[in-house]
Amino acid sequence: MSSLQAMFDNARAEGRPAFLPYFPIGYPTYDESLDAIHAMAQAGVDGFEIGIPFSDPLADGPTIQAATQQSLENGTTVRACLQAVRDLRERGVTQPMMMMSYINPLLAYGADRFAVDASAAGANGLIVPDLPPEEAGLFAEACQHAGLDLIFFLAPTSSPERIRLVADRATGFIYVVSLTGVTGARSQLPTDLTEFIGRVRQIAEQPLVLGFGISQPDHVRQIAPLVDGYIVGSALVRARTVDQIRHLARSLRAAV
C-alpha cells in the first residue's frame, strides 16, 4: 500500500476528507518555512504539497506569487527544496509530501535525476500544474521508476475525453480545480462543484483532491461530502507567523 493510499484510507475511516496544505519552501525564510510545515504536521494534517518556487507561477494568484518571489530572492533552489524534505523527515514529519513545481525548474534539474533525488529525500509524489498528460511521458516514466506518484489536474471546463485521459494517466490522486482561475483565498466557493465532481466520479476511480479557493472551515464543511481530500495554500501563506499557521491548519483540519 502506498503512503497516499494509506492516507486516504485513514481519513476515510474517520469519515472525512484528507487535508493537504500547500506551503512554499524558502518563505519567508528557509528555516521559517520548515517551522511552518513542522507545526502543521504536529497539528495533525494528513499530507503536504511542498512548493518549489518559480519565477512564472502561472496557476498561482498574488499571495503565492509574492511568497515564491521572495523565496527566489532568498536564493531558494530545487536542490534546497529537496534538502527541505530531508530536513523535515529528520525532524519527524511522517506525512506524505507531494512536491509541487512548474516544469522548467524540473527540466533544468533533469527529470530522471529529480525523481530519483526526490524519492531519496523522502518525497512521495509530484504535482506539475503546467505539465499536460499528453506531454508527460518523460516524467511519468521517471516517477514510476522512482516510486513517485504523478498528479494531474482537472478543471470545471474539462471535457469527458479530458477526464478519461487524466484518469488513465494520474496516480495517487487527481487534483480537481474548483474554479477557472488562479489560486487564492475566496469568500465563497463555486455553486456548481457538485455537478463537476459528479462528472469526474463517473469516469475516474482515483481519489479526488479539491484545491483553489478553499480558505476557511466553512468551505471544508461544504466540500467534505464531495471529495477525498482538499488543499489550502494562500490562506496559510497569508497567515505569516508559525503560530497563526498552526492555528489555521488546526481549524481547517478539525472542520469535519
At 201, the amino acid letter reads R
Q: Which among 46, 49, 87, 149 is annotated as catalytic?
A: 49
DSSP result, 29-89:
-HHHHHHHHHHHHHTT---EEEEPP-S--TT--HHHHHHHHHHHHTT--HHHHHHHHHHHH
| CATH label, 3-251, candidates 3.30.300.30, 3.40.190.10, 3.20.20.70, 3.30.1460.30 | 3.20.20.70
142 in Cβ contact with 112 (< 8 Å): yes
pLDDT at residue 183, rounded to an integer: 54
Is 49 among the residues known to form the active site?
yes
Q: Quote the mean pLDDT of the chain.
A: 94
| Residue 220: all three cell numbers together | 471544508
Total-model pTM: 0.94
* pLDDT surpassing 90 at residue 57: no
Instruction: Reduce the DSSP state of residue 13 to 3 states and report it.
Output: helix
**Average pLDDT in the 26-50 region?**
98
CA 206 to chain centre: 15
Give me the pLDDT at residue 184, please: 45
Mean pLDDT of 178-183: 61
Burial class (CB in 10 A: 0-12, 13-18, 19+), 2: middle
The helix/strand/coil state of 251 is helix
Catalytic residue among 9, 31, 60, 134: 60
76-132: per-residue pLDDT in tens?
999 999 999 999 999 999 999 999 999 999 999 999 999 999 999 999 999 999 999
Q: Residue 189: CB partners within 8 Å, gap ≥ 6?
A: 178, 179, 213, 214, 219, 222, 223
Is 60 annotated as catalytic?
yes
Residue spans of the domains in the chain: they are 3-251
The owner of cell 464531495 is 226
pLDDT tens-digit map of 136-168: 999 999 999 999 999 999 999 999 999 999 999
The CA-atom distances, in angstroms, between 32 and each of 28, 182, 208 are 6, 25, 30
